[in-house]
């Protein structure tokens, strides 16, 4: 989409020259800037996450060599994940970059555990080869179980069907491959690098005693050990506190807002539909009222209107009827504007207009349909009309609903005549 957008924009000056007579072409709808901005933001956040991860490792390991050895796992895991994306036919997009950003903090965990244990055994004065083998053997099962458990959370998303599966499959695949790559790196590459760059402590038994004394003087140990002793000494209280915190989290669930996806972007669509049989001239007059309201709203950068269309598929795609009684407005807001505020202000202005038919707004440039659809069935037309009116009123009276449209108004009685050619 981004490449196509750039190619079209490069052709605009050429097309304007061909048209001549001062013709000027304006782009009214383009998702490329939003996509590029999102990718830039995710890339920046990923690099910041990488930098902070390395900084935290340095603070806790207190060794530049150990930090560099551990930090190698991040680019290696990301590189393997990108190879996996290429093999799987996925591209670098908002979801896959977001997955890599999330995975950056996790892919280094296995390497930290392995390297810290190697460093501990080397600090005891053990021979380098034996220390590394012993250290890796001690934690290999733990880091493998930890990584596989996390993979087990994300991997099922990759096999979900329907629209959700198509949308989040690249995300799940990216995280899964990155985590498995981090496990592979921690159990193979990190021990080799540790063998090259880390040195065992001298002193044999004395080195072991000095290392254990340093461990007890460690600030984290000095804080953690008293807490651990208290928790073990008050087991019932500890379990009760844990249960209270666990159950208390369920009380927050009803307060969380839920949504399939935040539309984002800086485009939205206004669909206007007048009663069936409305002439094109009357539809155009009603569309001009809506156009005037759009023009007066602050934050609107450009807009395009299409009044009536013989392309039924196009009109239906935007949620409008086909024919002369429909109009579609594609609106682009300023990148600095609050789109929700712009939409709210436009709804208010449109609500003050008369004789403009049914109007609804949809974010993301259309193609989204209604957020909620209610299907009403009845044995006859009169019953259906009454039931549809009741449902419409109930939905309008429901808080946080907007743009309620009763499409029964779009139907009209027809008479079909079949000629008996006999």
Instruction: Find tokens 């609500």 and name the residue.
Output: 351
**At 358, is the secondary structure helix, strand, or coil?**
strand
- pTM of the complete model: 0.62
Domains defined for the chain, CATH in brackets: 1-30 (no CATH), 36-217 (1.20.1640.10), 267-369 (3.30.70.1430), 374-410 (no CATH)
pLDDT in tens, 66-104: 888 888 888 888 888 888 888 888 777 777 877 887 887
What was the pLDDT predicted at 413? 64
308 sits in which H/E element: strand 300-309
pLDDT in tens, 246-286: 888 888 877 776 665 555 567 888 888 888 778 888 888 99
Please report how the helices 94-123 and 162-197 are oriented relative to each other, as an axis angle in degrees rounded to 10.
30
- The fraction of the chain above a pLDDT of 90, given in percent, is 9
pLDDT band for position 240 (cuts 50, 70, 90):
very high
Neighbours of 108 (CB within 10 A): 25
Q: Residues 6 or more apart from 408 whose CB is under 8 A from it?
A: 384, 385, 388
Higher pLDDT, 109 or 166: 109
pLDDT in tens, 26-81: 776 677 777 777 677 767 776 777 787 778 878 877 778 888 888 888 888 888 88
End-to-end CA distance of the chain: 57
* Average pLDDT of the chain to the nearest whole number: 80
Return the structure tokens found at 421.
């050619």
**Total number of residues shown for the chain:** 422
For residues 299-319, average pLDDT: 66
Q: How far apart are CA 337 and CA 332, in angstroms?
A: 10
Checking if the pLDDT of 369 tops 50, the result is no
Please report how the helices 94-123 and 128-158 are oriented relative to each other, as an axis angle in degrees rounded to 10.
160
What was the pLDDT predicted at 243? 92
Query: 58 and 115 in contact (C-beta within 8 Å)?
Result: no
What was the pLDDT predicted at 368? 44
């Amino acid at each position: 989409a981004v490449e196509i957008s750039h190619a079209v924009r490069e052709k605009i000056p050429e097309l304007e020259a061909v048209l001549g007579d001062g013709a000027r072409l304006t782009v009214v709808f383009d998702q490329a800037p939003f996509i590029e901005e999102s990718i830039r933001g995710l890339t920046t956040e990923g690099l910041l996450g990488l930098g902070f991860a390395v900084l935290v490792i340095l603070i806790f390991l207190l060794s530049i060599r150990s930090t560099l050895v551990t930090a190698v796992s991040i680019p290696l895991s990301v590189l393997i994940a990108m190879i996996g994306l290429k093999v799987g036919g996925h591209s670098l997009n908002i979801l896959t970059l977001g997955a890599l950003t999330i995975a950056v903090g996790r892919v280094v965990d296995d390497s930290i555990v392995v390297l810290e244990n190697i460093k501990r055994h080397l600090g005891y004065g053990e021979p380098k080869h034996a220390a590394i083998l012993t250290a890796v053997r001690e934690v290999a099962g733990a880091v493998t179980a930890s990584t596989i458990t996390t993979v087990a959370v994300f991997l099922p998303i990759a096999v979900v069907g329907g629209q959700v599966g198509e949308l989040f499959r690249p995300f799940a695949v990216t995280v899964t491959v990155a985590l498995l790559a981090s496990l592979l790196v921690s159990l193979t590459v990190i021990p080799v690098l540790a063998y090259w760059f880390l040195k065992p402590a001298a002193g044999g038994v004395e080195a072991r005693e000095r290392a254990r004394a340093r461990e007890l003087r460690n600030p984290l140990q000095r804080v953690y050990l008293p807490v651990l002793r208290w928790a073990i000494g008050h087991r019932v209280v500890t379990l009760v506190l844990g249960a209270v915190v666990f159950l208390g989290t369920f009380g927050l669930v009803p307060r969380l807002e839920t949504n399939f996806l935040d539309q984002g972007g800086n485009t939205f669509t206004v669909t206007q539909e007048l009663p069936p049989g409305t002439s094109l001239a009357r539809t155009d007059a009603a569309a001009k009222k809506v156009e005037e309201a759009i023009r007066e709203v602050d934050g609107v950068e450009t807009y395009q209107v299409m009044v009536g269309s013989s392309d039924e598929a196009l009109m239906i795609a935007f949620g409008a009827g086909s024919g002369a009684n429909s109009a579609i407005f594609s609106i682009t807001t300023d990148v600095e504007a609050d789109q929700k505020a712009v939409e709210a202000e436009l709804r208010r202005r449109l609500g003050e207009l008369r004789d403009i038919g049914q109007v609804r707004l949809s974010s993301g440039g259309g193609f989204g349909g209604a957020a909620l659809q209610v299907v009403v069935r009845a044995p006859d037309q009169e019953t259906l009309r009454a039931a549809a009116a009741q449902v419409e009123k109930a939905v309008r009276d429901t808080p946080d609903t907007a743009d309620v449209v009763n499409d029964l108004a779009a139907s009209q009685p027809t008479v079909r005549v079949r000629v008996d050619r006999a």
